A and B are shown apart, each in its own frame.
Chain A
């Protein structure tokens, strides 16, 4: 899937994540998390895996995590990407 425009998904509430995606020439992921020390690696892996499963090869993906579990992060990333690809 291609990131054609900027899009967002999620909220800044505790236990949620806010994902912002925008077009870029390469794949850039930026992760900020309140639990980065404890779960930073898990979050990065989850974001990369979700993007790979959606076939995203380029675009900027910024995740502001407020302590979301993996399934929430995956859902927020997927939704943002689909919105950016023209789906709703």
Chain B
């Protein structure tokens, strides 16, 4: 027996894909992904319409989806993150049905709870055998972890593995086993490895970023959490990476060994593992090729599914054991709600990803962002989009002051500790005031009443909507 089929077109025919169905994709190939575009092109060619695309993320490389929307091939998008190119088009109102935004934990959990049904999953696999045992750890398009694809493989009615490195059966050490695979397709290229490392993965040299990073490291230190067994997640932004560098220095100096580093894993987290700062790494996605190599070669570096990373449908998830997370924001409001979905002009340019999952699970959630960006104040009265609710945010670090969220009766002790550590603690309203003294008060945006996207919290409930830009 073999599950090999000739090409993507034949795979689509065999799955029985019809008008009105939902197909899914994962985004470990990031901005180098070819699979989503290849599949949609073939779907369009076969005259199939009214398809909903459920992709863990939509990147700029997926721009061709805009034409598929205009032609009625794609009528729905569900994702956890959307880059600005497609996001811009969505905000101009090209699609009738609102986009559904989930979180990295909410997406697999909604599949497992049955509230999000996938008819056919297409899984980009850097290496697979002809029965569908597959992995991202090896192959010319190696992307490391394929953690977001596990739920798709386990829950979709039909599963198509798309690979550009077909190996003889059996592939040992596979991430997703053959039990879930219906068909396997070999193509020339599932992606461009250069696009995998598209994220910002350099430590900032900007003095503002370094100041914020230093404050964030001192906040963690003062909180008392930076001790034996500490666990940490940082983003891939320049300032959070710089914070990791300061934290690493403290850990090495005091001989602190943490339990795990988590997240989208970067070379910097790998460096901390290898320097002895952590006992392990928990990896749902690799941001660069050092992370890919480490996941492949180092048994302490563990691949996990998105459910295990951040879901709410399992009996626990790794975010529940997370001590500290460092996250970014485009806006924070006076109630500590964070926007990572829309830019200052109201256009979609991101999404929660694991933002609200890690904020909810961690003991200490720190938002790092500059007081102003291109004149616009970080702190506003009401975030344009609520991506992560304020109840899950503990501290906002800017270069001009640090606000502690003592609403909901929490963090009173933390605030005292930060003041005792001589950190520049202030109220969130002070950060707004300081920015407005420099910039002036911004005029509000004209937005229409038409909803172009709904934002679902990790438990599947709607926490906000995004309106079309006028």
Which residues does A use to contact B, with CB under 8 Å? 14-15, 34-35, 37-42, 66-70
Could you give 19 example pairs across A and B, Cβ below 8 Å? A14-B373, A14-B374, A15-B375, A35-B344, A35-B375, A35-B442, A37-B445, A37-B446, A38-B375, A38-B376, A38-B443, A39-B440, A39-B443, A41-B443, A66-B374, A67-B373, A68-B375, A69-B438, A69-B439
Smallest CB gap from A68: residue in B: B375
Chain B residues in 8 Å Cβ range of A39 = 375, 439-440, 442-443
Chain A residues in 8 Å Cβ range of B438 = 69
- B345 CB-CB contact with A under 8 Å: yes
Min distance, Cβ A14 to any Cβ of chain B, angstroms? 5
Chain A residues in 8 Å Cβ range of B372 = 15, 69
Cα(A11)–Cα(B372), bound, Å: 19
**Secondary structure of the B contact surface, majority rule:** loop
Min distance, Cβ B244 to any Cβ of chain A, angstroms? 24
Which residues does B use to contact A, with CB under 8 Å? 344-345, 372-376, 438-440, 442-443, 445-446
Chain A residues in 8 Å Cβ range of B439 = 39, 69
Given contacts A35-B344, A37-B345, A39-B439, contact A69 B375 (CB under 8 A): yes
Cα(A66)–Cα(B440), bound, Å: 16
Chain B residues in 8 Å Cβ range of A34 = 374
Chain A residues in 8 Å Cβ range of B344 = 35, 38
Structural contact, B376 and A67, CB atoms closer than 8 A: yes
Chain A residues in 8 Å Cβ range of B373 = 14-15, 67
Smallest CB gap from B437: residue in A: A69
Cα(A40)–Cα(B446), bound, Å: 14
Smallest CB gap from B440: residue in A: A42
Cα(A39)–Cα(B344), bound, Å: 12
Known A38-B445, A69-B439; further 7 A-B contacts with Cβ < 8 A: A15-B373, A35-B442, A37-B446, A38-B344, A39-B440, A67-B373, A69-B438
Shortest 5 CB-CB distances between A and B: which pairs?
Answer: A67-B374, A38-B442, A67-B375, A14-B374, A42-B440
Chain B residues in 8 Å Cβ range of A69 = 372, 375, 438-439
Which among B344, B373, B439, B445 has the highest number of chain A CB atoms within 10 Å? B439
Given contacts A35-B344, A37-B345, A69-B439, contact A15 B374 (CB under 8 A): yes
Cα(A35)–Cα(B372), bound, Å: 12
Cα(A39)–Cα(B436), bound, Å: 12
Structural contact, A37 and B440, CB atoms closer than 8 A: no
Cα(A15)–Cα(B399), bound, Å: 16
Which among A38, A40, A42, A68 has the highest number of chain B CB atoms within 10 Å? A38
Chain B residues in 8 Å Cβ range of A35 = 344, 374-376, 442
Which among B442, B445, B446 has the highest number of chain A CB atoms within 10 Å? B442
Min distance, Cβ B158 to any Cβ of chain A, angstroms? 46
Smallest CB gap from A14: residue in B: B374
Smallest CB gap from A42: residue in B: B440
Cα(A35)–Cα(B376), bound, Å: 8
Min distance, Cβ B208 to any Cβ of chain A, angstroms? 10
Which among B344, B375, B445 has the highest number of chain A CB atoms within 10 Å? B375
Min distance, Cβ B399 to any Cβ of chain A, angstroms? 13
Min distance, Cβ B371 to any Cβ of chain A, angstroms? 11
Smallest CB gap from B469: residue in A: A37
